[in-house]
Amino acid sequence: MATAPFDFAPLFPADLPAPAARWTGLAKYSFVGGNNDADQVPVEGLTDAATAVLEREGRTLATYGLASGPQGYRPLREFLVAKLQRDAAIRCTADDILIVSGSLQALDLVNQTLLSRGDTVIVEQETYQGALTRLARLGVNAVGIPLDHEGMRIDALASALSDLKRRNIRPKYIYTIPTVQNPTGTIMPEARRTELLKLSQEHGVPIFEDDCYADLIWDGRRPPAIHALASGGGVIHIGSFSKSIAPALRVGFIVAPWEMLSRMLALKTDAGSGALEQMVLAEYCRPHFTTHVPELTRALRAKLDTLMEALNAQFGTSAEFEAPKGGIFLWVKLPDNVDTLRLYQAALAAGVSINPGPEWSTNRGYSGSRLRLCFASPSHAQIREGVAVLAEVCRKEFGVPARIANVEKARG
């Protein structure tokens, strides 16, 4: 006997987020999503690593947490101990590290441990969209600090902290992406990191340091992590293998004192992050990480150059940008009359996806004609073609860039 289909809607909680739409695939010219360069995935090396580690330790898959417990595959943590010391000057042990299912889980665990609805946190005015959407959903106020070419402005931070203190608000953390900032691509120099730490200690506000893009630096040189400079603790440091190896693996990590880790472990009720990726990454990275990453960054640098050339060719002076120090994205300013939220819609209809600035900023006025473009995933040809299409769309919608008669639009 047929019955009317069951209606779940009356059961939904009042604050349930809107439903997702059906997935329709990536745009033809996709400049979003932090996807990486498929040509640079070290497939052979990962395959050899998978074979070796499975043959040696495949039996341990029968046990939740393998033989390593809830903090994650021990050899991966040991790789990270050495890597973090070498690259970021962080001195820690495997017991100070928690492997998570991508840095997104790190964000969630830190937030669950520290935040309640109505709390306040400090962020860079332009910052990672995923962080902003999480804070909004949690009902947490994000105070944005303006940036310059060296990252978060310390004078503005001091000002904001004093203002909050006057209003009797104790912010729960200062969230910073100091090493290849997302989206602006800057690197905060050591002196400024020290000043940031000083303010953090004075005001008793911990620092939440997100180093997810820190491996992808063109000249390979970076200041010590804020975590490394902090003699008094008070820093939670997170990172990821998504940008250095591959995003679909979903492996990130947290370095934090046991006071924090023990709380996050109690909240990480997933019976462990995926074991196979951890095993394969440890097996691959130990011998190959330090040779793989420079190759990857060389390829990414070449794509950045293609993107900047294409923007110059298509937009001329209408597009302003500074070359990032590394990473997979470029932050661009278009003329003030360009509303990049509208540009996003029009471009999508033409097969080009971009990240509109307001989704990556706490300051709508400042970001309204800015946008973020990821360049790792599209090919060189797709970058050139996509930017040409974007310029055409922008011209139609906003009258800029003006048509440049003597530029041949290459549609290779």
Q: Does 239 bind its own copies (CB under 8 A)?
A: no
Strand ranges in 266-378 using DSSP code E only, listed in sequence order: 320-321, 329-333, 352-353, 355-356, 370-374
Stretch that binds its own copies, among 17-25, 157-165, 212-220, 348-356 (CB under 8 A): 17-25
Identify the three-state secondary structure at position 101. Answer: coil
If we measure between CA atoms, which residue out of 375, 310, 386, 383 comes closest to residue 352? 386
* Least separation in angstroms between CB 63 and its own copies: 5
By CB under 8 A, the residues from 329 to 368 that bind its own copies are none
Count of residues of this chain found to bind its own copies when the rule CB under 8 A is applied: 100
Q: Does 176 bind its own copies (CB under 8 A)?
A: no
In angstroms, the CA 327 to CA 258 distance is 31
Q: Determine which residue in the list 126, 145, 158, 248 makes contact with its own copies, applying CB under 8 A.
A: 248
State which residue, 265 or 313, has the beta carbon closest to its own copies: 265
Q: Which residues contact 387 (CB under 8 A, 6 or more apart)?
A: 307, 310, 311, 313, 314, 315
**Can you spell out the DSSP letters for 120-152?**
EEEEESB--HHHHHHHHHHT-EEEEE-EETTEE
Placement of tokens 């492997």 in the chain: 99
Identify the three-state secondary structure at position 363. Answer: coil
Q: Determine which residue in the list 191, 266, 381, 402 makes contact with its own copies, applying CB under 8 A.
A: 266
State which residue, 266 or 402, has the beta carbon closest to its own copies: 266
* Least separation in angstroms between CB 33 and its own copies: 6
* Least separation in angstroms between CB 154 and its own copies: 19
By CB under 8 A, the residues from 272 to 331 that bind its own copies are 272-277, 280
State which residue, 176 or 314, has the beta carbon closest to its own copies: 176
* Least separation in angstroms between CB 379 and its own copies: 12
Identify the three-state secondary structure at position 237. Answer: strand
By CB under 8 A, the residues from 34 to 53 that bind its own copies are 34-41, 43, 46-47, 50-51
In angstroms, the CA 317 to CA 277 distance is 45
By CB under 8 A, the residues from 91 to 120 that bind its own copies are 95, 101-102, 104-105, 108, 113-116
